[in-house]
Amino acid sequence: MNNYIPYHMHTEYSLLDSCTKPKEYVDLAVQNGMRALAFSEHGKPMNWTEKYGLCKEAGLKYMHAVEIYLTESIEEKVRDNYHTVLIARNMDGLRELNRMVSLSCNRDHFYYTNRLSFDEFIALSDNIITTSACLASPLNKLPREHPRYEDLVRRYDFLEIQAHHHPDQVAFNQRLLSLSKEFGKPLIAGTDTHSSTPYKAECRAVLLASKHKSYDDDAFDLTFKTGAEFEEMFRSQEAIPEADFMEAIRNTEELIGLTEEIELDTSIKYPILYGTREADSQKFEETVRDGLEEKLESGVIPREQEAAFRSAITEEMRVFKKLKMDGFMLSMSELVRWCKSQGMAIGTARGSVGGSRVAYVTDIIDLNPETWHTVFSRFCNEDRTEIGQMASAYRNVCGNTH
């Protein structure tokens, strides 16, 4: 055997704990003939759609995962924050995992980091696969006689051994092997990878030092390993019998069969603000109509431009409705107006949105397109198949530059 599935792995999105980009791991997985990857960032599955796309393009199976933090009780603010890996079994599991991450970020859950309670973890559905993670696992940090210890063991689908040459890891692997036999829970081999190469491991060390951070893992080799290297680490560790760690390595590939393919709908979607697209469309029409009349009455739009504005707005509204952009434009209008009401500085116009008369009468921009003869079709074309320059309305708000 010379391969495995890296499912416990951290990128630069595990903030202050890695300097490796997701694509580096994807490239290494392809080079080494691996069939799948999971990125288990700390606390949150940051930028997971980017990783999904990289895996899809490379022909790898993407497995949705996170290394979540657990606490015995969210009521008592104790900085226990135990580690546990969650992996979505299917799309329902992906949605549940994301919901639980959102829950963990609520004010009542957050203490130094986002957390789930033991009860919330144990109540997870079978759509989420769980492993006991690293030395920060509750199965390592808590004594065996703890009243929730056996509840936690029973909820884990896999008990995660790791191959690091450290006496604490050796002892934990031996404890996990004993628990595996007692509770009938399979072992699985996790790498806890934090760096693609030794050089990136040095970069991580510099990053941690610069932030005065330490995770007490200097003695751990957290670089990406080939299958053969991974096996050899377990052999030289001499913690548990070879038959047991080889079975644990094989169980990483079992994750391929235990998880369904994730398929994302990547079509363009715009927000719905008032319950339905029809309600948004009606609200948008009212906003445009009222905005035009107000600017005409106040003289902001000269009367000699009225006919041109009405004609252009009729055409623009037809295009917005066809492209189902009503909610998007309405959201931009409400956002800019709110910013102005709070005294925030707003750009006059950014990019091609400066060609929209509708954007002008709804206060998204402060540049009069009729005066400056700007062109609407550069901003929004009814034959467009991608989102393209429609984002320039948002840039008008945030002042983003390229």
Residues 237-261 have pLDDT tens digits of: 999 999 999 999 999 999 999 999 9
CB 380 within 8 A of CB 356: yes
Residues 68-83 have pLDDT tens digits of: 999 999 999 999 999 9
- DSSP string for 135-200: TTSHHHHS-TTSTTHHHHHHH-SBEEE-----HHHHHHHHHHHHHHHHHTPPEEE---B-BSSHHH
Average pLDDT of the segment spanning 166-174 = 97
| Cα four-point dihedral sign 269, 275, 281, 286 | negative
**pLDDT at res. 399:** 46
**More reliable by pLDDT, 201 or 396:** 201
- Per cent of the chain over pLDDT 90 is 86
Residues 47-72 have pLDDT tens digits of: 999 999 999 999 999 999 999 999 99
Q: Examine the pLDDT at 117 and tell me if it is beyond 80.
A: yes
Which string of b and e fits 79-102 if b means at least 16 CB within 10 Å?
ebbbbbbbbbbbeebbebbbebbe
Average pLDDT of the segment spanning 256-272 = 89
Counting beta carbons within 10 angstroms of the beta carbon of residue 74, is it exposed (0 to 12), middle (13 to 18) or buried (19 or more)? buried
Average pLDDT of the segment spanning 166-190 = 97
**pLDDT at res. 105:** 97
The CA distance from 350 to 337, in Å, is 16
Band of the pLDDT at 124, cuts 50, 70, 90? very high
**pLDDT at res. 2:** 66
Residues 342-390 have pLDDT tens digits of: 999 998 998 899 999 999 999 999 999 999 999 999 999 888 665 644 4
Residue type, 37: L
Q: Examine the pLDDT at 400 and tell me if it is beyond 60.
A: no
* Cross-strand partners of 61: 36
**pLDDT at res. 351:** 87
Tell me the whole-structure pTM to 2 decimals: 0.77
The CA distance from 242 to 19, in Å, is 33
**pLDDT at res. 385:** 61
Q: Examine the pLDDT at 395 and tell me if it is beyond 70.
A: no
**More reliable by pLDDT, 196 or 394:** 196
- Per cent of the chain over pLDDT 70 is 94
Domain boundary assignment for the chain: 22-258, 277-398
CB 67 within 8 A of CB 8: yes
CB 114 within 8 A of CB 44: yes
Instruction: For the chain, give the mean pLDDT.
Output: 93
CATH of 22-258, one of 3.30.70.20, 3.20.20.120, 3.90.79.10, 3.20.20.140: 3.20.20.140
Angle 110-116-117 (CA atoms, 0-180°, nearest 5)?
110
**More reliable by pLDDT, 310 or 216:** 310
Average pLDDT of the segment spanning 327-350 = 94
3-state secondary structure labels for all residues of 234-277? HHHHCCCCHHHHHHHHHHHHHHHHHCCCCCCCCCCCCCCCCCCH
